[in-house]
Amino acid sequence: MKKFLIIVLLLISLVFIYVSTQGLFQPVVVEQRSMPGYRVVGIQHIGPYEKIGDAFNQMHSIAEEQGVPVKMIGVYFDNPNEVVEDSLRSIAGLVVSEADSAKLSKLPDLRVLSIPPGNAAVSDFKTGSMASMIIGAMKSYPKLTEYVAEKGLTQRITFVYEVYGEGKTEYVMQMSDQ
């Protein structure tokens, strides 16, 4: 029994150390700033947001097959506090040029979306792994939601998206100008 307890404590310690290195204690800072516009081509996902991974993997494969630069973006259309999990709509996509958009839009089952430039509440979170992206989302969205509520901007949210870059993810709540 003593060996079992030591093993369990060791495993818990290792998990704690791992999630600590993935951003568990990273502070979340929300700032309001201007975001560029994005041309997005992606796969629509309906269901729990945390199950969008397969769609991202498919888009990554399509990008490589088509010779398109891989700059991933996730766009989330529904508030999970207001819409049942099985009905949540999102897109696992690529940020693309006009030429690559035309090329990819010819493929079946891909959706084209234009996100205009605009003012947004943004949280930049250092990420480098799937675990750090999950921790980033879990920490950033409550802070973003709190920020837009405090500023009276909740009703102006037009797009919620994540832009995945080298070593960081931008968690974004973009607002209309009105």
* Domains of the chain listed by start with CATH number: 30-175 (3.20.80.10)
Tell me the C-alpha distance between 42 and 113, whole Å.
8
- DSSP class of residue 113 equals E
Beta strands in 61-117 (DSSP E): 72-76, 89-95, 111-115
Q: Which helix H or strand E contains 121, and what residues bound it?
A: strand 118-126
Q: Which residue type occupies 110?
A: L
Supply the DSSP symbol for 155.
Answer: G
Average pLDDT rounded to a whole number, residues 120-135: 88
Give the whole-angstrom CA distance, residue 69 versus residue 178.
34
- Full-prediction pTM beyond 0.95? no
CB of 23 within 8 A of CB of 125?
A: yes
At residue 29, φ and ψ (nearest 5 deg) are -115, 125
Residues 6+ apart with CB under 8 A from 114: 37, 38, 39, 40
Task: List, in order, residues 6 or more apart from 69 with CB less than 8 Å away.
Answer: 63, 94, 96, 100
In angstroms, the CA 88 to CA 82 distance is 10
Average pLDDT over residues 122-128: 91
| Least confident window among 86-100, 107-121, 127-141 | 127-141
Residue 118: what pLDDT? 95
Question: 4-13, 70-79, 97-106, 167-176: which range is least confident on average?
Answer: 4-13
- C-beta of residue 32 within 8 angstroms of C-beta of residue 50: no
Task: Give the largest Cα separation in the chain, rounded.
Answer: 64
The confidence band for 178, taking pLDDT boundaries of 50, 70 and 90, is low
Tell me, what's the pLDDT at 21?
Answer: 65
Q: What is the mean pLDDT of the chain?
A: 90
Q: What is the pLDDT of residue 29?
A: 92
